Amino acid sequence: MISIAFALALMGVQDLPAAADIEPEVTTEVAPAPAPAPEPELERDPVTGELPVDPYEMSNAHAGATPFTGTAMRDAFHGQEGIRRVVDNMVDRAVIDPRISEIFVAHDLVRLRRTLFEQFCHILNAGCDYTGRDMESSHRDLGLQVDDLNVLVENLQAAMADEKVGFAAQNRLLSKLAPMKRDVVTR
Amino acid sequence: MKDLSVLRVAACLFSLSASTLVSANLPAQAQDLRNGGKLLLTNGVSTIEGSGGGGLATWSTIAGNATQEGIGGSVHGTVIELPDYNWTSFGVSVGFFDRLELSYARQNLDTIDIGTALGLGRGYTLNQNVFGAKLKLAGDVVYGDPLLPQIAIGVQHKRSSDAAVVAAVGGASPNGTDFYISATKLFLSQSVLANATVRFTKANQTGLLGFGSATDSNHKPQFEGSLAYQLSRRFVVGGEYRTKPNNLGIAREDDWVDLFAAYALTRNVTVTAAYVDLGSIATADNQRGALLSLQAAF
Ligand code: HEM
């Protein structure tokens, strides 16, 4: 019983630093603008709206999983349209989820939505190539914990449920993402 | 009296290890201690012996909702209605950093009319305290290599409060310790969770009838298997099989089987209902009935 009270007290304590971190940074920006650019001199591409990144080699292998074969998974996700809705919904949820929202500040969400879409579309065999970076190098500097991953998985599950993707198919996509934990979670 | 002091020692140990583990962790990364981060149902439920697992079978999962980032725990209560007995048990467990689990469970078996038949008196209740510790060695139930399960080893020290009854039925000792190794994996591509546990035990009816007998007093390997299908984030159905020793001359002991459904009402509360077949218990055959268990985890 003592230990339960103790652990409960800890649960309270651990909320404090998080709350303290949310500094009411006063910016005059009004529009739901994408996160501020990490370096002021970077300019968004007028066509894609993305920030430039350092050059890297492109390969479908960077998607981090062998794609499904056949069309069942593509259909379960309602094709590219559905996959785009799932990815956008997941990102929308993640960036306002108080448990992980801070991690996305100052990252190029335009690029993230595109590369995540490509990655899911490629893995689900819905006719895309993945042109983003590999999982290890794109998460290396984020210092993610397994709790962050679990939160993102919950956001993805909610997005897939909104898209009415069957639960077995949801888990099948997760089975492709689960082994990537070792590249994504660095702490 | 004795039970109480054991309890107190256990409670102290719990909080001691909690504070050492935590203070070791606090200075460097206080902001990183996070609790309650596990995905729904991936902590399993509480077994009748208090450890994290299915209803009857112990799994390698660590109790509570915390991941390697924090400390969690659970409390549970279980009732089993059988033709000739009523079972109640309750317990608490604490999971440290998804690595170490300490647990306590109290089991009570109301013998109703069998008590009269055995000369104990109607409604005589057999009691037992179970102290458990479990250490995760490798793997992860959800993430990582899809073929590498989460593997854990554990001990359960059991102390029956009915030494006289244990002696009368031929049990060699009212106290005993089980050792087990367990492997559990959620196969996401099939939505199937599988568990296999080997338990070295000499417990008679998990220890409620003591440990070993005059003729048979060695630890023997027994098997506990669970197979479950995840229907949704909140809902899982499955079955379990648990083999048991058969040490006592006066009463046969059977393997246990159950079919269960577990539902996560909230992130913290899970209800489990099961059909259980516990076979023959202390001369009363065909003990088939219903199990209902409620767990609160944080
Ligand atoms: C298995 C799980 C994950 C997958 C499959 C995944 C996928 C991706 C992809 C495709 C990119 C883009 C790479 C590029 O820009 O070339 C990316 C970047 C990023 N991911 Fe993840 N991710 C995962 C887990 C997470 C988690 C748990 C978080 C945080 C909660 C996260 C936060 C980010 C951020 C902030 C970026 C942008 C990095 C940058 O701007 O350079 N990711 N991820």
Identify which of A175, A48, A61, A30 has the alpha carbon closest to the alpha carbon of residue A112.
A48
What pLDDT score does A115 carry? 98
**Within a 10 A sphere around the Cβ of B56, how many other Cβ atoms?**
23
**Within a 10 A sphere around the Cβ of B76, how many other Cβ atoms?**
25
Q: How far, in Å, is the centroid of ligand 1 from the Cα of A54?
A: 16
Query: Is the beta carbon of A139 within 6 A of some atom in ligand 1?
Result: yes
Q: Could you tell me the end-to-end alpha-carbon distance of chain A, in angstroms, rounded to an integer? A: 31
* pLDDT tens column, A112-129: 999 999 999 999 999 999
B129 with B156: CB under 8 angstroms? no
Tell me if residue B171 falls in helix, strand or coil: strand
Tell me if residue A83 falls in helix, strand or coil: helix
Residues 33-92 of B with CB under 8 A from A: 33-39, 67-73, 75, 92
Q: What share of chain A is helix, strand, coil (3-state, %, to 5)?
A: 55, 0, 45
B297 with B86: CB under 8 angstroms? no
Q: Which domains does chain B have, with CATH numbers?
A: 2-297 (2.40.160.40)
Q: How confident is the model at residue A168 (pLDDT cuts 50, 70, 90)?
A: very high
Q: Tell me the whole-structure pTM to 2 decimals.
A: 0.84
Backbone angles phi, psi at A157, to 5 degrees: -60, -40
Between B222 and B114, residue with greater pLDDT: B222
Of A104-113, A151-160, B28-37, B81-90, where does mean pLDDT reach its minimum? B28-37
CA torsion, ordered B167, B246, B47, B198, to nearest 10 deg: 130
For the CA of A118, the nearest atom of ligand 1: 10
Q: How confident is the model at residue B275 (pLDDT cuts 50, 70, 90)?
A: very high
Q: Calculate mean pLDDT across residues A123-140.
A: 97
Which residue(s) pair with B203 in the sheet?
B211
Q: Calculate mean pLDDT across residues B59-85.
A: 95
What pLDDT score does B101 carry? 97
Query: Is the beta carbon of A111 within 6 A of some atom in ligand 1?
Result: yes
What pLDDT score does A36 carry? 56
What's the mean per-residue pLDDT of chain A?
Answer: 85
What pLDDT score does A32 carry? 54
Residue whose structure tokens are 């269960």: B260
pLDDT at residue A110 is higher than 70: yes
B37 CA: distance to closest CA in chain A (Å): 5
Q: How confident is the model at residue B121 (pLDDT cuts 50, 70, 90)?
A: confident
Q: Calculate mean pLDDT across residues B235-258.
A: 94
Query: Is the beta carbon of A152 within 6 A of some atom in ligand 1?
Result: yes
Ligand 1 pocket: which of A105, A109, A138 to mutate (most atoms <8 Å of CB)?
A: A138
Q: Which domains does chain A have, with CATH numbers?
A: 71-184 (1.10.490.10)
> Does B37 sit within 8 Å of A150, measured CB to CB?
yes
- What's the CA gap between A93 and B87, in Å, rounded? 45
In this complex, is the C-beta atom of B189 within 8 Å of any C-beta atom belonging to chain A?
yes
* Ranges A36-40, A116-120, B8-12, most confident: A116-120
Instruction: Give chain A positions within 8 Å (CB) of B189.
Output: 171-172, 175
- Nearest residue (CA) to ligand 1, atom 31: A139
Of A105-119, B1-15, B22-36, B82-96, where does mean pLDDT reach its minimum? B1-15
What pLDDT score does B249 carry? 85
Q: Calculate mean pLDDT across residues B269-290.
A: 94
- What's the CA gap between B130 and B126, in Å, rounded? 13
What's the mean per-residue pLDDT of chain B?
Answer: 88
Q: How confident is the model at residue B13 (pLDDT cuts 50, 70, 90)?
A: very low
- What's the CA gap between B244 and B208, in Å, rounded? 13
